[in-house]
Amino acid sequence: MSALCAAIVLASCASARPMAAPVMAPMQVAPLEEDLFKGDQASRLTEEELHRVLEAPPVLPSRSRIGVIWVRDGYAIESRLPEAPALGALSRALEGSGDVETVTEVSTDFPASAGIGGLRELAARYRSPYLLLYRHRFVHDSYANPWAAAWVTLVGGLIAPSHTLRVAGILEATLFEVRTGTLLFTAYERMGGERQANIWQNERKVDELEADLARDASTRLADQVLMKIQRLRPSANDHLATNRR
């Protein structure tokens, strides 16, 4: 009898279907539409203006006019002699790309206001709707290397390359849309190098190392700028096509 009961229990367990796992509906999460960080520093843009800027597609029409200008910290106009090799490299690359109608290196000798207002004034003088803002920054260091042992003999210490000069820096190019005051992109080209030197005229040697690094990096920066401009073209074409409908 007990064997019969056990067989019945086993048969009913085998015929029972496993319970299906409950399926939960996906959670409906609303996207964030406003700044919830109320303690942030007050902006000069209203919330509505901020949304208008962020929702507008980046536009770079074909055959644009671009001015290339050297700026310093804070994007103030650089008034020094425009001897930076990247200025010429950027201008030549843009002219040779076929994507730009006119490229001009902007002279900063014309009177202009300080800050962004001055940049817009110079752009208006050159009738350039876009400015490519260029600047570079360097840091440097030096330390004694194994050649410093030459100081055991005084004469050896005076002529041996007992110092290692190290330089690191960044070349930067930012495309500024003058009409809207917005920035379409920024490209960085990082660089670094070192050189062994004796104790004489190391400031001049650091300047030479910076110039060599900047010259070598200028072409790479120009390549980055061209690539970013070409990537902006589909966005511009889509925007113009939408406006024609």
Tens-place pLDDT, residues 186-212: 999 999 988 877 778 888 888 899 999
Residue range 9-34: average pLDDT?
62
In terms of Cβ atoms closer than 10 Å to its own Cβ (0-12, 13-18, 19+), residue 217 is buried
pLDDT confidence of residue 121:
94
Residue range 97-114: average pLDDT?
85
Residue range 131-150: average pLDDT?
84
Query: How far apart, in whole angstroms, are the C-alpha atoms of residue 57 and residue 4?
Result: 78
Query: How far apart, in whole angstroms, are the C-alpha atoms of residue 32 and residue 35?
Result: 8
57 or 152: whose pLDDT is higher?
Answer: 57
Q: Are 233 and 62 in contact (CB under 8 A)?
A: yes
122 has a pLDDT exceeding 80 = yes
pLDDT confidence of residue 213:
92
For all residues of the chain together, what is the average pLDDT? 81
Write down the domain spans for the chain. Answer: 59-244
Q: Which CATH class is domain 59-244?
A: alpha beta
